[in-house]
Amino acid sequence: MSILKKLALAAGVSALLSSAAYADLSGKVIGFSQIGSESGWRAAETSVTKSEAEKLGIDLKFADAQQKQENQIKAIRGFIAQGVAAILVAPVVSTGWEEVLTEAKEANIPVILLDRGIDAPQDLYLTSVASDQVKEGHVAGDWLVKTVADKDCKVVELQGTVGSSPAINRKKGFEDALAGHANLSIIRSQTGDFTRAKGKEVMEGFLKAEDGGKGICAVYAHNDDMAVGAIQAIKDAGLKPGSDILVVSIDGVPDIFQAFVAGEANATVELTPNMAGPAFAALDAYLSAGTVPEKFIITESKLYTPADDAQGEYDRRKGLGY
Ligand code: AHR
């Protein structure tokens, strides 16, 4: 057999293997309880999840909870009543899940958590696909510590949704990174609920309270959307974001790379919107071969700054549903 024929055969076999790898999910009904659409990152996660499901032939039942836990609980109960094969849930807050997840467990329906953690016994979910959110805050804080070096730096913080795991953990990681560096202090911290509008509004309040922003050296936002809102507030106050006030945040959405290009933001920690890919792979292995996945599947947390080909990173992301 010629080399070319052998290669063609090998390629055919591997194509067969890769589609066979997900054969068990094809045709399955899977429920997805999404938080809402508070940020560009969230929109991208929704669109990636839908397209991953479509590629695998999954019949995905999508429920948008509009930021309300009660809507998520209702949706999960609806999925249980329908007898879905599995449930994906991005939990808006970390507490209050035990009862409904126990119902799913009793109905023998595996639950996979996406992008946020919960305070509940671990046997109530099959696995959790998320970043290490404490690390994300730490990476952002380390960047700021290195960037300001010995300079005094007063920081304002825009927190995510109250009671959500990323708000709790990103706060902790950032504070840990600043600990022991007496020249840096967080002077104000308030929730901006992960939205652009709230980020702008809260930043306006910070600027007003701090003599028009003169004493503020940096803003740390728990997501890029709030950072983009803060950038607008800083500009409206007659200051230059990115130089008068440093801007560091988390997510890696296209708009923050655009702000890098404009010199208006300084660092972001990337969070992949593709939580569904690893989730479906784990679910498939579990349903087809009984393989129990790791309890926590941790995605990467990579720091980006304007030096990292900001225009190229923007171009790479802009068509991905953000
Ligand atoms: O849980 C992930 C966070 O939720 C993202 O960082 C933020 O943009 C989203 O709203």
Using the atom order of ligand 1, give the atom closest to the CA of residue 250. 6
Check if 268 has its Cβ closer than 6 Å to any atom of ligand 1.
no
- 36 burial via Cβ count (<10 Å: 0-12, 13-18, 19+): buried
Q: Is the pLDDT of residue 21 over 60?
A: no
pTM for this entry: 0.93
Residue from 56, 66, 120 nearest 92 by CA: 66
66 CA → ligand 1 middle, Å: 14
45 Cα–ligand 1 center, Å = 9
Q: Where are the beta strands (DSSP E) in the chain?
A: 29-34, 59-64, 86-89, 111-114, 127-131, 153-159, 184-191, 218-221, 246-251, 267-270, 296-299, 302-304
**Atom number of ligand 1 nearest to Cα 40:** 8
SS (H, E, C) 192-209: CCCCHHHHHHHHHHHHHH
The answer to whether 153 touches 167, Cβ cutoff 8 Å, is no
Q: What is the pLDDT of residues 83-123, one digit of tens each?
A: 999 999 999 999 999 999 999 999 999 999 999 999 999 99
Residue with tokens 């510590």: 145
Tell me the pLDDT tens digit for each residue of 232-278: 999 999 999 999 999 999 999 999 999 999 999 999 999 999 999 99
Nearest CA to ligand 1 atom 7: 223
What confidence category does residue 320 fall into, taking pLDDT thresholds of 50, 70 and 90? confident
Q: 150: CA distance to ligand 1 center in Å? A: 32
The residues that bridge with 62 in the sheet, in sequence order, are: 32
How far apart CA 192 and CA 260 sit, in angstroms, is 21
Q: Tell me if 221 sits within 8 A of 230, measured CB to CB.
A: yes
Residues 49, 280 contacting (CB under 8 angstroms): no
Centre of ligand 1 from the C-alpha of residue 194, in Å = 7
Q: What is the DSSP letter of 300?
A: P
